[in-house]
Structure 1
Amino acid sequence: MNAPVIALGGFILLAYTLEAITGFGSVVIALSLGALLMPIETLLPILVPLNIGMTGYLCWRHRRLIDTALLLRTVLPGMLIGMLIGYLLLPHLDPQPLKRGLGVLILWFAGRELWRLRVSAPKRGRTPHWVVRLATGAAGVCHGLFASGGPLLVYALSTRPLDKTRLRATLVCVWFTLNGLLTFAFLLDGRLRPALPQVLAYAPLLLLGVWLGERLHHRFEEHHFRLAIHCLLLVSGVLLLSPWSLL
């Protein structure tokens, strides 16, 4: 087994442990790091099917905690429409400027929220419903382009009255749905079949990632959980803009 294969396995374990803790971030983190080793178009058919394995398990385990009304009325409609637009636009767009723009947006959102999370900072007011809908649609477009809609969606939902456990349960249900559809699209366009050996080889890492993430999730206080989410957003934005990353 060569060094890039082992390194990618380490990136996958880290990324999916973080998603088990926070409810998002696995694909954007693994994609950002994995792009140092291989092309993004090779990585996506590996990472997206792995994600549905983990989120499917977490969805079922925490199904009673999912905010069904928020999921069905607000999140999924905008995300599904946006993802379809992104998937259809991708062959006709230069992805590099889009990825840089996404990185700038993520850094701005994360920096602003980390500033607000200071002990002395006033709490942010509830985000207007139209802003949430606009942000979920934009998150869907990002997901269709790069399977990385998590940062924008987390920002949109960050003022919703959800504790950390309900937020995570709702997020993993979103990713299970969207990445299931993306995996089906990869099957239809022929990208999934060549990636299946790698998907099966890395699948055992999901078990370890979920085991670690479940235990670490319950050790976080609410304030620390919010802090961890936006620090993860900050890292994602830096990786998207880094000159040494192919993202």
Structure 2
Amino acid sequence: MDLLLPDSLTMLALLGCFAVALLAGVVKGMVGFAMPMIMVSGLGSIVGPDWALAGLILPTLCTNGWQAMRAGWRGVWDAVVRFRVFLAVAFVMLILSAQLVSVLPPHVMQVLIGLPIVAFALSQLLGYPLRLGSPPPRRVEVGVALLAGGIGGFSGVWGPPTVAYLTALETPKREQIQLQGVIYGLGSVALLGAHVGSGVLRAQTLPFSLSLVPVALVGMWIGFRVHDRIDQVMFRRATLVVLLVAGGNLLRQGLGF
């Protein structure tokens, strides 16, 4: 147990971590994102922020790979070509910002992520949709990529700005799920490398992250089954609700409520 959890936490705490991973997998299977947000928030209350960040790395990598490959290699390649600028910019920023884990105060990070996400989700749900052209302006694509990669490196949470961007593009649900899998999957590889280098993922935290993978995959399977049964309108609404809840929770933590 000492290798799996810090400070010799109990089996009950480990079961709590499994429950967080299961919930994160279900939500990710339904809407294509939110696993890092749920795991950072849920695991952080059990094992602390550093172990929470380490714990999400391998489950996120494995579930993103499954999500990206669900429609085959051709869809993966098309997504990489279409979003090559976004991916390149976000990748570089993720690597650079990973070094800020021990520098930037957690509450500042949470507010910086949560505020724009809550504003976006609320505006969409209240009937003031943000729509971008297809393809979007290059400056918008680069700006969102800088934001997503920047916060992803030091927090492990790069989904909200990316999914807000894809939602504003009015991407069909099946395509959006695969695009998110490809974008987040490549980001997960970068995150893995960055935090092997930063020391967050190390000999003591690696078994903990591995132990969460099977549970997250079971949750993902459940979420996929729900996703296949809802239409585009319901998918969009569910996506916005998850964004709103996740962003609100980050704001609550960052502001100390």
TM-score by length of 1: 0.88
2:93 corresponds to which residue? 82
Structure 1 residue 235 displacement after superposition = 0.9
- Does residue 131 of the first structure (1) align with residue 140 of the second (2)? yes
Q: Which residue of 2 aligns with 1:238?
A: 248
1:155-166 map, 5 Å: 155-166=164-175
The match for 2:7 is: none
Q: Does 1:170 align with 2:179?
A: yes
Shift in CA distance, 191/162, structure 1 to aligned 2, threshold 3 Å:
same
Give the secondary-structure state (helix, strand or coil) at the position aligned to 2:169.
coil
> 2:159 maps to which residue?
150
Cα distance, 1:51 vs. partner? Answer: 0.9
C-alpha displacement of 1:210:
2.3
Instruction: For 2:84, give the aligned amino acid.
Output: L
Structure 2 vs 1, CA of residues 210 and 243 (structure 1 numbering), >3 Å: closer, same or farther? closer
Runs of at least 5 residues in structure 1 that lack an aligned partner in the other structure: none
Matched residue, 1:208: 218
Contact 2:61–2:189 at 8 Å: present in 1 too? yes
Q: Is 1:72 paired with 2:78? A: no
Quickly say closer, same or farther: Cα 1:8–1:219, change in 2 above 3 A: same
- AA at the equivalent of 1:60: M
Deviation string 1:200-243 (CA, Å, 9 cap, x unpaired) is: 32222133112202111111110110111111111111211225
Q: Distance in 2 between matches of 1:188 and 1:199?
A: 16
Is the 8 Å Cα contact of residues 25 and 232 (structure 1) preserved in structure 2? Answer: yes
> Does the aligned pair in 1 maintain the 2:58–2:210 contact within 8 Å?
no
Cα distance in 1 for residues equivalent to 2:22 and 2:253:
24
* Aligned-partner residue type, residue 91 of structure 2: L
Amino acid at match of 1:109: F
Contact 1:87 1:145 in 2 (8 A): yes
- Partners of 1:191 and 1:199 lie apart in 2 by 11
Give me the whole-angstrom Cα distance separating, in 2, the residues matched to 1:154 and 1:202.
Answer: 24
Q: Which secondary structure state, in structure 1, belongs to the residue aligned with residue 46 of structure 2? A: coil
Deviates more, 1:3-12 or 1:83-92: 83-92
One-letter amino acid matched to 2:215? L
Question: In structure 1, what is the Cα distance between the partners aligned to 2:182 and 2:131?
Answer: 26
Report deviation, 1:30: 1.4
1:196 equivalent in alignment to 2:206: yes
Identity %: 23
* Equivalent residues of 1:104, 1:237 under 8 A apart: yes
Deviation (angstroms), 1:136: 1.8
Residue type matched to 2:131 in 1?
G
In 2: Cα distance, 1:9 partner to 1:95 partner: 24
CA distances 1:10-43 after superposition (whole Å, capped 9, x unpaired)? 1111112211221211011111122221211111
Which of 177, 181, 204 is equivalent to 2:190?
A: 181
Q: Which amino acid aligns with 1:93?
A: L
Q: How many positions carry a matched residue from both structures?
A: 241
Contact 1:62 1:169 in 2 (8 A): yes
Q: Name the counterpart of 1:15.
A: 24
Q: 1:69, CA displacement in angstroms?
A: 2.8
Contact 1:83/1:144 (8 A) holds in 2: yes
- Give, as a single letter, the amino acid of the residue that structure 1 aligns with 2:88: P
**Cα pair distance change 1:46/1:246, threshold 3 Å:** farther
Secondary structure in structure 2 of the residue aligned to 1:93: coil
Cα distance 1:246–1:60, how it changes in 2: closer, same or farther (>3 A)?
farther
**Which residue of structure 1 lines up, in the alignment, with residue 12 of structure 2?**
3
